[in-house]
Chain A
C-alpha cells in the first residue's frame, strides 16, 4: 500500500484565495483525521471522520474552514478565504478502527504558506 497520500506537498497562495487540500487514506481504513501543525501549537486536530461521517469538528477554527469526505477513499480540506495565520503544515491521517487499535498513519503533509 502506498500509505496516506496528500496533495499538494507545498502550496503558496495569496491572502483571500481559496485553498483546497486533498487526502487519499489507506484502503480499508475507516477513520480519517485532518491535523494542523505549527511550532507554537503543535499538532491540532481539526476534524475527524468515521465511516465518512464527521464525528468531531470542534477543532475547525472558524467558518472559513470546511472538510468533506464524499467516499471512503477521498477527503478534502478547504480554506476560503485564506489568511496568513493559516500558514502551517496540514496532515491527513487514517486509521483502521478496532477494539484496541488506535494507530494512526500519517501522510507527508501539505506545507501551506499564505502571503
Chain B
C-alpha cells in the first residue's frame, strides 16, 4: 500500500518567518502534487513535480521533488497570513495504469499569525 506521510501535522508561526513542510513515502511516485485548502473550500493545486530532483518556484513557495521520487518538500519564505491553510501532497504511483487515482497525505495545517 502506498502511503504519503506529511510533517509536521500542525504549524503555527509569525508573519515573516520561513518554514518547510515535508511529504515522505517509502514508495516511488511518477508525479507528486501540492494542494492548498482553505476553510470551507476544496483543495486547489499549487504545483506538480515530475522529475527526480526537480525544483519549482511559485513566488515565495519553493517545491522540491526528491532524487528518488519518494519525497517532496515545500518551503515558504517570509510567510504571510494569506498562506494560512491546509497543505496537502498527493501522488500518482508509477504503475497506476488505467487507475490514475491520487494517493493523499493527511496534510499540514499552517497558521500564520499577523
Contacts and interface: CB of A to CB of B under 8 A. Distances in A.
Interface of A: 4, 31, 33, 41-45, 48, 50, 55-56, 91, 93, 97, 100, 102-109
B99 A102 contact: no
Interface residue range, chain B: 20 to 34
Given A50-B98, A103-B48, A108 B107 contact: no
Given A91-B42, A93-B42, A100-B50, A55 B105 contact: no
The binding surface of chain A is classed by DSSP as: strand
Contacts of B99: 48, 55-56
B22 interface: no
B104 interface: yes
A107 B104 CA distance: 17
Contact of A103 (B45, B106, B107): B45
Nearest to A45: B101
B114 interface: no
Given A43-B43, A102-B48, A103-B45, A56 B105 contact: no
